[in-house]
Amino acid sequence: MIRLYDTLAREKRPFVPLNPERITMYVCGPTVYGRAHIGNARPPVVFDTLARLIRHEFGANSLVYARNVTDVDDKIIASAAEEGVEPSVITERYERLYLGDMRALGVPPPDIAPHATGEIAPMIALIERLVGLGNAYEAEGHVLFSVPSDPDYGVLSRRDREQLIAGARVEVAPYKRDPADFVLWKPSPDGVIGWDSPWGRGRPGWHIECSAMIKAHLGETIDIHGGGLDLIFPHHENEIAQSRCAHAGAPLARFWVHNGFVDMGAEKMSKSLGNIVTPAELLARGHRGETLRLALLSAHYRQPLPWTEALVEQSKAILDRLYRAAGDAPAGGIDSEVVDALSDDLNTPAALGRLHAIDDPAVLKASAGLLGLLSDTADNWFRGGADEAAVETRIAERAEAKKSRDFATADRIREELKAEGIILEDGPAGTTWRRE
């Protein structure tokens, strides 16, 4: 029996899916305008591990896992304007790089990856519905959600009204009836990406995106909604309000699962603080994706994870030991204590600890696999060569550099890979590689 801590209930509860043959999980995905940092990589690794556990418990085809791509956003628009390109140039570039980084961390693409720009019609339909029900209103080309129209608003973050207004960091805008109201739709001036709507040409706000995509792809009520702690307010609070009001009170998610931050020194790792380290940099320095994955799973997902160079070194040493113990055994059965540890609110530190006590190499290989570890051959691991996913990530980066005519970077990546014994060959169908 899997037990998960539910942020809404404030307690660990047995995870009993609505339909065990179609378990639904949605995790808020990246806004694609820059490289992911290690803090951004924690939710995809945590929820990939949860997905592996659910598939182990309920069957390989039991789970539908959706992670969205936010590809329309003010930061994307600003960065496209800065480069003098269409927003799609920015979003396609960073989505490719994101998927490459995730592959290196052993995170396969989710089952469904809806893109905001491909889902405008369901968003407009949801907004129209909220307007019709009196939960939203139009003002000066904007459509806003009326927070006072929802008596249950604040249920997830449990903030009182003063905290809501302060915490929302809401811009004071003359068209708002209430300072806590938030934007569902906003106007796009000429030259800015936009779509026709009943309220004029414009674009969606961020929160409505997830509510509309969840309804379109997974249903009105899903089993698990996940994301980082920082999304509880306002993002998830707003998702809940929109969806519940539009769907006659049906809850949006049965379990709200949130991961803690990755810290650098005393602070949360964040782009705005400028204290970030990216998987791309760490891979370029020769660390393996699996080492970074183990480091990200070394603390319980709800706890803060202090990121240090020592943590990375320690994770590498642990993997060396595990690869030595597993050798080249084929994967066997999975150890029940590893499953029990993960089933207890995804207790990865306990599961990792248990791996050391397993003396059957085949069981060790399979049990580590449940955490997405020991995916390489021992031979390749100890040869010290870059792992395949990391090479692919570096090749994707080099292709982007060439595209933006940054040949110095492209050459540097070729040389770095050569130093690791990887030879690149450019051909008409792209770049292939071989080991020296």
Interface segment toward Zn ion; rule CB under 5 A; list 204-212, 307-315, 341-349, 427-435: 204-212
Smallest gap from Cβ 212 to Zn ion, in A, equals 10
Torsion angles phi and psi, residue 13, rounded to 5: -130, 150
- Both tokens of 336, joined, read 């029940």
List % helix, strand, coil for the chain (3-state, nearest 5): 45, 15, 35
Nearer to Zn ion, 202 or 205 (CB): 205
Nearer to Zn ion, 210 or 312 (CB): 210
Interface segment toward Zn ion; rule CB under 5 A; list 205-213, 346-354, 390-398, 405-413: 205-213
| Cα angle value 400/288/330 (rounded, 5°) | 120
* Contacts of residue 359, Cβ cutoff 8 Å, sequence gap at least 6: 325
- Distance, in Å, from the CA atom of 432 to the CA atom of 422, rounded to the nearest integer, reads 10
Smallest gap from Cβ 13 to Zn ion, in A, equals 22
The verdict on 299 binding Zn ion (CB under 5 A) reads no
Interface segment toward Zn ion; rule CB under 5 A; list 22-30, 242-250, 263-271, 402-410: 22-30
433 forms bridges with which residues in the sheet? 424
The verdict on 28 binding Zn ion (CB under 5 A) reads yes
Q: How many chain residues interact with Zn ion (CB under 5 A)?
A: 2
Three-state SS at 227:
strand
- Distance, in Å, from the CA atom of 374 to the CA atom of 389, rounded to the nearest integer, reads 14
256: amino acid identity, one letter: W
Interface segment toward Zn ion; rule CB under 5 A; list 23-31, 129-137, 330-338, 370-378: 23-31
- Distance, in Å, from the CA atom of 206 to the CA atom of 241, rounded to the nearest integer, reads 14
Smallest gap from Cβ 235 to Zn ion, in A, equals 5
Q: Is the dihedral of CA 121, 51, 222, 186 positive or negative?
A: negative
Smallest gap from Cβ 207 to Zn ion, in A, equals 7
The verdict on 283 binding Zn ion (CB under 5 A) reads no
Smallest gap from Cβ 21 to Zn ion, in A, equals 25
The verdict on 107 binding Zn ion (CB under 5 A) reads no
CB atoms within 10 A of CB 135: 20
Smallest gap from Cβ 325 to Zn ion, in A, equals 40
- Both tokens of 8, joined, read 């809404």
The verdict on 210 binding Zn ion (CB under 5 A) reads yes
Interface segment toward Zn ion; rule CB under 5 A; list 3-11, 27-35, 111-119, 286-294: 27-35
Binding site for Zn ion (CB under 5 A): 28, 210
